[in-house]
Structure 1
Amino acid sequence: MAARTSVKARRPLPRLVGVISSRDDLRFAIRMRNPPDLFELRLDHLVGIVNELENKLSMLPAPLIITARHPREGGANNLSIKQRRELLSRFLPHARYIDVELRSAKALRSLLEIARRKNVRRIVSFHNFSSTPSTRSLRARARATKSCGADIFKVATRTDTPAQLARLLDFIANKDVDLAVSAMGIGKLGGISRLELMRRGSVLSYIHLGRARIAGQPSLRDIRRWTLSVGR
């Protein structure tokens, strides 16, 4: 009898997202010969160069995620909901994905519906820069995100301690909702958190294009090296 061969199923690798939050980032992204899978336009950071940005979108060598972050979740320039809605509406025709915070989903519900009709995928996100909530709390947010019609729940939380990291890892392993998750840690254990979360099925992994804006955010070179180990 022939020996049975055991084949271990591999998780798909996460898609890599290069974050564009400055004119320098934009120029660098345009020149990239081996770009990431996607670029995220941080419109809250780019509000001062939106005309230039719009004129150069066709030069970017990868599809786009657009977001205009809420000030309480790391957004720049203290933009109002009206300003953020206008920015997102302006760039929606160019987007593959739109990202809004869970706290903003109700106010931006009509925009999310327009995105759905245009086949723009919807990311609903949650950021906590001071700690990592309990697994139970993260599950509740994932369920709320699902009810908003999201395609992906993005969660970024503080991981300065092993206990904080353990809660984030426990959540992605036991999220208890049929929804893709992009999870990442911020802080002292941010780098290792991203590697471990990639191994556990995080679907998007975000990188800087020159200078990390948050602790633990890797470069494209870092993360491509990590994905080799994840794929083994």
Structure 2
Amino acid sequence: MKKGTDKRRTPLTAGVIAGSIKPQDVKKAIASGADILEIRVDTYRRRNPDDIARAMRGAGRPTILTIRSKKEGGRFHIPDDKRLELFNALAPFAKYVDIELSSSAILKNVVDLSRRLGKKLIISYHNFKKTPGGKELTGIVKKGISLRADIVKIACAAKDAGDFRRLASLLIAYDCLSVIGMGRGGKASRVLFPALGSKIAYGSITTAAAPGQMSVREIKKEFKRFYITG
């Protein structure tokens, strides 16, 4: 029996709003079929909380608040104290809050904030160099679950069939994951892993925010081909 906390079967398709949060990008994401919008605050040069909050309120879709750390793929370095300020200012307007497991200096604060506000919590792990061994991956998942994550997100560079199998095996064992193989070798995972139970498929709107990322429109098209609907 799978272990986890989030029982949703049909995967969400998240449109990643990167670079800036322009109304035309939000409209394009919705027109492409995005169920939810990931607000990648770390990719914005201008990070005025009032402006971002206004855009989130008027987005027309639920949002994932992500302020990615530089070491796990954030575009700009934002000191942890500033990240925490942004989380406090913007979390009230999000449905999901994403925080990296490695952000130990602010992890507890963001977890507590999410719970206090009644937000869904995504605990994430990104490795752009490799896919760790099965034991290490399982340890990461268990740590996320211990922090009461609604979803544990695992995104790793997938270079061969062994990497692909290790990532897929997590979805066989746990029911609370979003798993992504990054890079050319993992591109198929963005379509196939949702069939195994991966909760959120992330797609670009203008430019890819991660290696191998497909557009929302491409993901939706492939879902229809491979029978995944909803």
Normalised-by-shorter TM-score class: 0.7 to 0.9
**1:122 aligns to what?**
121
Give the conservation status (yes or no) of the 8 Å contact 1:191–1:217: yes
Residue deviations 1:155-178, cap 9 Å, x none?
A: 000012222212111222234xxx
Residue correspondences, number: 219
**1:28 aligns to what?**
25
- Measured after TM superposition, the shift of residue 189 of structure 1 is 2.0
RMSD over equivalenced CA pairs, Å: 2.0
**2:221 aligns to what?**
225
- Measured after TM superposition, the shift of residue 192 of structure 1 is 0.7
**2:142 aligns to what?**
143
Residue deviations 1:71-111, cap 9 Å, x none?
A: 11011221111011111111011010100001125633123
- Measured after TM superposition, the shift of residue 223 of structure 1 is 0.8
1:209 aligns with 2:205: yes
1: CA distance between counterparts of 2:53 and 2:102? 27
The 5 A counterparts of 1:34-53 are: 35-50=33-48, 51-53=50-52
- Measured after TM superposition, the shift of residue 44 of structure 1 is 1.0
1: CA distance between counterparts of 2:10 and 2:113? 29
**1:60 aligns to what?**
59
The 5 A counterparts of 1:92-111 are: 92-105=91-104, 107-111=106-110
Paired residue secondary structure (1:44): helix
Between structure 1 and structure 2, the one with the greater Rg is 1
2: CA distance between counterparts of 1:123 and 1:203? 11
Paired residue secondary structure (1:221): helix
2: CA distance between counterparts of 1:107 and 1:49? 19
- Measured after TM superposition, the shift of residue 27 of structure 1 is 2.7
**2:151 aligns to what?**
152
**1:3 aligns to what?**
none
- Measured after TM superposition, the shift of residue 13 of structure 1 is 2.4
Give the conservation status (yes or no) of the 8 Å contact 1:98–1:123: yes
TM-score, normalized by length of structure 1?
Answer: 0.86
Seq. identity, % = 27
Unaligned runs of 5+ in 1: 1-10
2: CA distance between counterparts of 1:101 and 1:154? 9
Q: Pick the aligned partner of 1:183 from 160, 163, 179.
A: 179
**1:7 aligns to what?**
none
Unaligned runs of 5+ in 2: 1-7
**1:5 aligns to what?**
none
- Measured after TM superposition, the shift of residue 25 of structure 1 is 5.6
1: CA distance between counterparts of 2:207 and 2:32? 18
Paired residue secondary structure (2:184): coil
Greater than 2 Å deviation, 4+ residue runs: 23-27, 30-35, 49-59, 105-108
Give the conservation status (yes or no) of the 8 Å contact 1:30–1:59: no
1:13 aligns with 2:10: yes
- Measured after TM superposition, the shift of residue 140 of structure 1 is 0.5
TM-score, normalized by length of structure 2?
Answer: 0.87
Paired residue secondary structure (2:124): strand
**1:196 aligns to what?**
192
2: CA distance between counterparts of 1:26 and 1:218? 21
Paired residue secondary structure (1:154): strand
The residue type paired with residue 207 of structure 1 is G
- Measured after TM superposition, the shift of residue 49 of structure 1 is 4.2
2: CA distance between counterparts of 1:52 and 1:230? 39
